[in-house]
Chain A
Amino acid sequence: MGEHVIEVNDLCKRYGNLRAVDGVSFEVQQGEFFGILGPNGAGKTTTLEIIEGLRESDGGSVQLLGQPPWPRNQSLLPRIGVQLQATAFFERLTAREQIHTFAALYDVPAAAGDALLERVGLTEHAGTRTEKLSGGQKQRLSIACTLVHEPEVVFLDEPTAALDPQARRNLWDLLSTLNDSGRTVVLTTHYMDEAESLCDRVAIMDHGRLLALDTPAVLVRDLGAATQIGVAADGLDTADFAAIGGVEQMRHNGDTMVLSTREPARVLSALAERDALADVHVRGADLEDVFLHLTGREYRA
């Protein structure tokens, strides 16, 4: 096996006239937390399903752990863990019965299941039927079932899609620990903030094409976008704002004066000298700005 856990080369998949995946290439290294980011219909899930071995590609090649995943590769299956968009459980089983069932399917001891229930914080709900669990709890159980056989590669397809913001952030805490022991994680998401806070590297996709691939920090830095500094507009006269060195643009936004600059330290210290930092907030560029820059349109998940 090479240094790459996943190698995708010029991957193509067509549904009728729609090019769902159009010439996508990338590599994922061992222990990496890799994100595929894009709006719905960008081709993320199709790409993931081809790598997992659920679909056959129309062109290009995929190597997963050094082997082709299609057709169904029995020797790969115990080494990968897949968590699905829908939470796929056996009907009317309790949380403990679900994970014990999956443990048996992968031929690992039931105790491994109990340990994972503990790890995802579901021990006190172990006797509850899955139908009665909340959305966040179901997702935690689903992730626990994915990890029960200690897979080398874990695929997570939009794990937080149906959750409320609170449950989403709770799940991030769990997800961020998944690659701690050298495990490789591949995640698809349409949330920019999720990709930014979880992923080592992010591939941005739109209309089946790979638009950019790098760490979130580099993607944003390469954008070279200005920092926006907002302060209370009545702190200074408009002319005094304009006189501050390093300010490229300024505009009124209600009671706030927004200053655009590529030298935020200089502008902030000038504002501090003039005692004009009331209600200050600073916003740097993020992946949404990257997406806007790459596609020329606002990001709509």
Chain B
Amino acid sequence: MRVMTTLSLAMWRGFVREKMALFFIILFPLMFLFLFGGLLSDPTQSRSTLVQVGEVQLLDRLPPESEEAFTDAFEVEHTTDLAAAVQQVRKGDADAALQQDGDELLLHFSQADQVTAATVRGTIFSFVQGANVAATDEPPAYSLTMQQVEDESLEPIQYLTPGLLGWAIAMSATFGAALTLVEWRRSKLLRRLRLAPVPTGSLVSARILVTLGIALLQLVVFVGLAMAVFGLQLTGSWWMAIPLVASGTLAFMAIGLLAGSVSKTSEGASGLANIVILPMAFLSGSFIPLDAAPEWLRSVSTIFPLRYLNEGMLDVMVRGQVASAALLPIAVLLGFALVVGAVATRVFRWEAD
């Protein structure tokens, strides 16, 4: 026990005194959080620009309740020059131009940005329909109420935090294990420990303990800052993120152990870890949500442990799933750790030659 505590303390000190590692493991992923969080939460991004050409009764005589909804969706500019307005739309300076000719409304839009075009068309159409119904003076035949399934405050930060946290944990566990192994073998510290009455189990346990500590530190810093700065709101079973992070850490330690076992130099080990982790982070939805990804990509992503960590954390931290939703991802991660860990043990070498 004293041996394991001593080794853990020595490793922990070695970690917190390495400024570069602290930067890469804590600050670097946080920079992404601030970058993406800042970019995507810009509220003016969701409003479209509409150019009103001359008089348009639909817009000028909106009932008060519709007017509020309209200004939420559109920023309106006024002009009398139709040609100039169409030119603006063509160049992308405005999203659409609207003119009225008698009872007919004419909407000019550009297909260059298909999503915006569809939104503008749909929104204007619904206002026209609303005005038509109002003009008949009869109650509408159907009414529609909309209810979002997630927490109402589902902002980009809700998706970003678990994904980026998953990436940060994958990085630190993999690189930590791989580089420590290669460096200790190179400096002969591994040999020195083999010549001391140190059980291999204590050495491995100490490394696991320290890596888990680092991962939990990442969890606290990440979630804490996302809540304080960007208003991240956690859902009921968020605490299941702790066993998720722990089992994810074990899975990525196993990858790092394998990379460190087959590499001779630190450069080789970090290169190998990068080749594995970076594509995995992209394909597992750490940077971009997988919901928008094509079907084949989503199928491919099921082979990556990071996907299970990300999805598991999304489920319990922001999607409001019950605690048991995390059990399957945890089982997959632990199974992965076991299999890769067993392979790493087979190729593990104490000595460089």
Contacts and interface: CB of A to CB of B under 8 A. Distances in A.
A91 B197 contact: no
Contacts of A92: 13-14, 17-18
Interface in A134-177: none
B220 interface: no
Contact of B10 (A84, A87, A88, A90): A90
Interface string B188-229: 111111111110000000000000000000000000000000
Interface residues of A, number: 26
B2 A88 contact: no
Interface string B1-39: 011011101110110011000000000000000000000
A70 interface: no
Contact of B187 (A52, A80, A82, A88): A88
Interface string A228-260: 000000000000000000000000000000000
Contacts of A107: 2-3
Interface string A75-88: 00110101011111
B196 A106 contact: yes
B188 A101 contact: no
A93 B13 contact: yes
Nearest to A145: B192
B155 interface: no
A101 B195 contact: no
Interface string A103-132: 011110000000000000000000000000
B2 A82 contact: no
Contacts of A74: 197
Contact of B13 (A80, A87, A88, A97): A97
Given A104-B6, A105-B6, A107-B2, A89 B187 contact: yes
A47 B229 CA distance: 63
Contact of A52 (B2, B14, B188, B195): B195
Interface residues of B, number: 26
A287 B46 CA distance: 87
A174 to B, nearest CB: 19
Nearest to A92: B17
* B interface, over-half SS: helix
A102 interface: yes
A15 B2 CA distance: 39
Given A92-B17, A101-B6, A82 B192 contact: yes
Nearest to B202: A105
A88 B189 contact: yes
A290 B183 CA distance: 41
A101 B191 contact: no
A88 B188 contact: yes
Contact of A77 (B7, B188, B197): B197
Contact of B193 (A78, A86, A93, A105): A105
A217 interface: no
In this complex, the member of A52, A72, A97, A105 whose beta carbon has the largest number of chain B beta carbons within 10 angstroms is A105
A54 B191 contact: yes
A104 B2 contact: yes
A105 B183 contact: no
B197 A93 contact: no
A80 B11 CA distance: 25
In this complex, the member of A53, A78, A91, A106 whose beta carbon has the largest number of chain B beta carbons within 10 angstroms is A91
Contact of B196 (A85, A90, A91, A102): A102
B195 A54 contact: yes
B195 to A, nearest CB: 5
B192 A104 contact: no
A105 B191 contact: no
A74 B202 CA distance: 14
A54 B194 CA distance: 8
A84 B7 CA distance: 20
A14 B110 CA distance: 78
Nearest to B196: A105
Contacts of A52: 195
A78 B197 CA distance: 6
A90 B210 CA distance: 15
Given A102-B196, A104-B3, A86 B187 contact: yes
A93 B14 contact: yes
A91 B188 contact: no
Nearest to A74: B197
A89 B187 CA distance: 7
A97 B6 CA distance: 10
A91 B5 CA distance: 17
A105 B14 contact: no
A97 B10 CA distance: 8
Nearest to A129: B17
B188 A82 contact: no
A194 to B, nearest CB: 22
B54 to A, nearest CB: 73
Please name the 5 residue pairs, one residue from A and one from B, whose CB atoms are nearest each other, closest first: A104-B6, A88-B192, A88-B188, A92-B17, A88-B189
Interface of B: 2-3, 5-7, 9-11, 13-14, 17-18, 183, 187-198, 351
Given A104-B5, A105-B197, 9 more contacts: A87-B187, A88-B191, A90-B11, A90-B13, A92-B18, A93-B10, A102-B196, A106-B196, A107-B3
